[in-house]
C-alpha cells in the first residue's frame, strides 16, 4: 500500500516535459517534490501565478506571495503574475495540460466529488470546477476507501459533484485506475497490494 | 477631478447604502482592501451583498463585517477558513451563493466589460448548473452565467498615481482588477501614491479610467498560512577553506 508520499511520487510520473500543470491542495501539493529528473514543468497557482517556487526561507515570507492554499511561496526566474480572470481564462481555455486534484469520491464514469458534504462541510469548490472543466487531463490522488473501509471509487457518487465524467486517471493508496469506456481499467497495483484486494476495494465496475 | 482622499472613511463618503452590492478584491487575506473593509464596518452599512472570492478569516478582512452582521449574502467560491461564516451559514442567518472561482472572476470581468452573460463549461452536470440555461456549441454543453455590476468595488493595489493608474504586487493582484472593473464606482486603497509620470505607462496593470477614489494607508498585510523551509545548515569545513585559500594563492 502506498503512503501519501508514494502516491505523490507516483503522480509525479504523470508529468511530461514542457507541461503547465495545476496541483490541488493536500497530497497533490506534495507532487511538486517528485517532479522526475529531466522533466521541466511549470506549476500554475490559480490565484494568479505561473512558475511557482518552493516555500521561502524563514524570515523571507512575503504576504503578497501565496499559493492557492494560501501558503507563503517564492518566485522563480520564469515566474509571471496575472489577475484571477486571466488565470481562469488559461484554465478554461485549455492551456493547462493537467490538473492533479484530491477527491472525496470518484465514480466509474469519471464523475468527481471533492467540494462538499451537505450539512457538514461547507467550504466551497474554489477553482476545482473550473479546473476539471477546462484542463487537458485530470488525475485524482485519493485514499481508495474511507476510514470505515467503504469504497470511495463508486458506481455513482453520493456527494454533490465537482464535474461530470471529468476524471481520466485515479491514483490511490492501492493502485492506479483509468476511466475508460464502460468502467475502470486497472493500470497498476500498489506495492504489497494484490489485484484481488484492489478489486474488492472498488465498488465501480472494472473492465479488462 | 481630484481622486485622492485623506482616509478610507472619506473615500467612501456618500457611496454606502443599506442593501448594496459590493465587489471586493483579494484572495484569502492576500491583497484585500483591509482599510476600506474596516471603514465599512465603522459606517455600519447593513444588508450587504458582497461578491468576494473568500470571506476573510475570523476577525480580519471581511470576517469583520460578518461579526457585525452587516452582510446578508456572500457570493464566494471558498469560505473554509472562517468559523463565524460557517456558523452563520449553517444556522441560516447568512445567505451564500457559491460560484466556481473562475466563474466569479469572469462574472466580474464581464460585468465591467459590458457583457451581460457568457457561456462556460464550468459546473455543467453539478448543482451550479441548476436552473441555468444550457446551450451546446460544437457538441459540448455550456451554461449561461451572468456578469456582475456592483454598486461599489473596493480593491487594494500596491501603487497608484494621482490619475488612478494602478500597479499591483505579485499574487496580491488576484481578484482586484476584475473586481475594480465591475464597480459603478471603484475605491482603491494603496500602499503608496506616486507622482504623476513616475509609473511606466507600459507597466500599468489597471488604467485609471476604472478608479474613482484613492486612499493611501498603512496595511497590516497579515499572512494566513505561513510556510517556510529551513536553510540548509552550512557547516564550515576549516580544512577545505584553508585548501581553497592556499590553492588561490598558489
Assign B235 a pLDDT band (cuts: 50, 70, 90): low
Residues of B in Cβ contact (< 8 Å) with A88: 101-103, 105-106
Assign B234 a pLDDT band (cuts: 50, 70, 90): low
Mean pLDDT across A9-30: 95
**Which long-range contacts link A2-7 to residues 24+ away (Cβ below 8 Å)?**
A2/A172, A2/A173, A2/A174, A2/A190, A2/A191, A3/A173, A4/A30, A5/A30, A5/A33, A5/A34, A6/A190, A6/A191, A7/A141, A7/A171, A7/A172, A7/A173
Taking only the tens place, the pLDDT of each residue in B182-232 is 999 999 999 999 999 999 999 999 999 999 999 999 999 999 999 999 887
Helix then strand count (H, E) for chain A reads 5, 14
Give A162→chain B minimum CA distance, Å.
6
Question: What are the catalytic residues of A?
Answer: 46
Helix or strand or coil: residue A192? Answer: coil
CA–CA separation, B25 and A170 (whole Å): 35
Give A89→chain B minimum CA distance, Å.
8
pLDDT at position A158 over 90: yes
CA–CA separation, B48 and B17 (whole Å): 9
Check CB contact under 8 Å for B227 and A124: no
**A41, A11 in Cβ contact below 8 A?**
no
Taking only the tens place, the pLDDT of each residue in B52-106 is 999 999 889 999 999 999 999 999 999 977 888 888 988 899 999 999 999 999 9
Which residues fall within 8 angstroms of residue A20, CB to CB, at 6 or more apart? A41, A42, A44, A50, A90, A95, A96, A97
DSSP run (H or E) holding B87? helix B83-90
**A182, A204 in Cβ contact below 8 A?**
no
**Closest Cβ opposite residue A57 in set B168, B175, B229:** B229
pTM given for the model? 0.94
Check CB contact under 8 Å for A48 and B174: yes
Share of chain A above pLDDT 70, in %: 100
**B163, B1 in Cβ contact below 8 A?**
no
CA–CA separation, B225 and B221 (whole Å): 12
Q: Which domains does chain A have, with CATH numbers?
A: 4-200 (3.40.1080.10)
Is B191 an interface residue toward A (CB < 8 Å)? no
Residues of A in Cβ contact (< 8 Å) with B80: 123-124
Q: In chain B, which residue's Cα lies nearest the Cα of A56?
A: B228
Q: What pLDDT shows up at residue B233?
A: 60
Mean pLDDT across B166-178: 98
Is B177 an interface residue toward A (CB < 8 Å)? yes
Q: How many CB atoms lie within 10 A of CB B8?
A: 25
DSSP run (H or E) holding B238? helix B238-249
Q: What is the dihedral of CA B15, B17, B19, B21, to 10 degrees?
A: 0
Q: In chain B, which residue's Cα lies nearest the Cα of A164?
A: B125
Q: What pLDDT shows up at residue B236?
A: 53
Angle subtended at Cα A104 by Cα A101 and Cα A108, rounded to the nearest 5 degrees? 90
Residues of B in Cβ contact (< 8 Å) with A133: 120-124
Beta strand A98-102 with A137-142 is: parallel
Task: Count CA atoms closer than 13 A to B143's CA, side-chain side.
Answer: 21
Give A38→chain B minimum CA distance, Å.
24
Q: How many CB atoms lie within 10 A of CB A8?
A: 23
Q: How far is CA B107 from CA B32, B47, B148, B183, in A?
A: 19, 22, 5, 12
Q: How many CB atoms lie within 10 A of CB A85?
A: 24
* Bridge partners (DSSP) listed for residue B188: B155, B214
Is B180 an interface residue toward A (CB < 8 Å)? no
From the candidates B85, B129, B157, B171, which should be mutated to test the interface with A, based on the most A CB atoms within 10 A?
B171
- Cell of residue B73, nine digits: 449574502
* A–B interface: beta-carbon pairs under 8 A: 182
Check CB contact under 8 Å for A66 and B171: yes
Q: Given the C-alpha cell 475570523, which residue does it identify?
A: B58
pLDDT at position B245 over 80: no
Q: How far is CA A183 from the centre of its chain?
A: 20
From the candidates B86, B88, B102, B233, which should be mutated to test the interface with A, based on the most A CB atoms within 10 A?
B102
Q: What is the dihedral of CA B49, B51, B52, B58, to 10 degrees?
A: 10
Which residues fall within 8 angstroms of residue B231, CB to CB, at 6 or more apart? A57, A58
Amino acid at each position: 500500500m502506498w503512503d501519501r508520499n508514494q502516491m505523490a511520487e507516483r503522480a509525479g510520473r504523470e508529468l511530461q516535459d514542457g507541461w503547465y500543470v495545476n496541483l490541488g491542495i493536500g497530497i497533490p501539493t506534495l507532487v511538486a517534490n517528485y517532479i522526475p529528473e529531466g522533466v521541466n514543468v511549470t506549476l500554475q497557482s490559480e490565484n494568479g501565478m505561473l512558475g511557482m517556487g518552493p516555500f521561502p526561507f524563514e524570515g523571507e515570507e512575503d504576504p503578497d506571495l501565496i499559493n492557492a492554499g494560501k501558503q507563503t511561496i517564492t518566485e522563480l526566474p520564469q515566474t509571471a503574475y496575472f489577475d484571477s480572470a486571466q488565470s481562469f481564462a488559461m484554465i478554461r481555455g485549455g492551456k493547462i495540460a493537467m490538473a492533479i486534484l484530491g477527491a472525496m469520491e470518484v465514480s466509474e464514469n469519471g464523475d468527481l466529488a471533492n467540494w462538499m458534504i451537505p450539512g457538514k462541510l461547507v467550504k466551497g469548490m474554489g477553482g476545482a470546477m473550473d479546473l476539471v472543466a477546462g484542463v487537458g487531463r485530470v488525475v485524482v490522488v485519493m485514499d481508495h476507501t474511507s476510514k470505515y473501509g467503504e469504497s470511495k471509487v463508486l458506481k455513482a457518487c453520493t456527494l454533490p459533484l465537482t464535474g461530470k465524467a471529468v476524471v481520466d486517471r485515479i491514483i490511490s493508496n492501492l493502485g492506479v485506475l483509468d476511466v475508460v469506456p464502460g468502467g475502470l481499467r486497472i493500470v497498476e497495483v500498489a506495492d504489497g497490494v494484490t489485484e484481488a484486494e484492489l478489486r474488492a476495494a472498488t465498488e465501480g465496475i472494472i473492465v479488462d | 477631478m481630484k481622486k485622492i482622499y485623506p482616509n478610507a472613511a472619506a473615500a467612501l463618503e456618500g457611496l454606502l447604502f443599506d442593501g448594496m452590492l459590493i465587489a471586493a478584491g483579494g484572495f484569502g487575506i492576500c491583497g484585500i482592501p483591509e482599510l476600506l473593509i474596516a471603514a465599512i464596518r465603522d459606517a455600519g452599512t447593513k444588508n450587504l451583498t458582497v461578491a468576494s472570492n473568500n470571506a476573510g478569516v475570523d476577525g480580519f478582512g471581511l470576517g469583520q463585517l460578518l461579526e457585525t452582521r452587516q452582510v446578508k449574502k456572500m457570493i464566494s467560491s471558498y469560505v473554509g477558513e472562517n468559523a463565524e461564516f460557517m456558523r452563520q451559514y449553517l444556522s441560516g442567518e447568512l445567505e451564500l451563493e457559491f460560484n466556481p472561482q473562475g466563474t466569479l472572476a469572469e462574472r466580474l470581468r464581464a460585468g465591467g466589460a459590458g457583457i451581460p452573460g457568457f457561456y462556460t463549461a464550468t459546473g455543467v452536470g453539478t448543482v451550479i448548473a441548476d436552473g441555468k440555461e444550457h446551450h451546446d456549441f460544437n457538441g459540448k454543453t455550456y451554461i449561461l452565467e451572468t456578469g456582475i455590476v456592483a454598486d461599489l468595488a473596493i480593491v487594494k493595489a500596491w501603487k497608484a498615481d494621482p490619475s488612478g493608474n494602478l500597479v499591483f504586487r505579485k499574487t496580491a493582484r488576484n481578484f482586484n482588477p476584475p473586481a475594480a472593473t465591475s464597480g459603478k464606482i471603484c475605491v482603491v486603497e494603496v500602499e503608496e501614491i506616486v507622482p504623476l509620470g513616475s509609473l511606466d505607462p507600459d507597466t500599468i496593470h489597471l488604467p485609471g479610467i476604472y478608479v474613482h477614489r484613492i486612499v493611501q494607508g498603512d496595511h497590516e498585510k497579515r499572512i494566513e498560512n505561513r510556510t517556510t523551509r529551513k536553510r540548509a545548515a552550512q557547516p564550515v569545513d576549516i580544512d577545505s577553506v584553508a585548501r581553497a585559500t592556499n590553492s588561490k594563492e598558489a
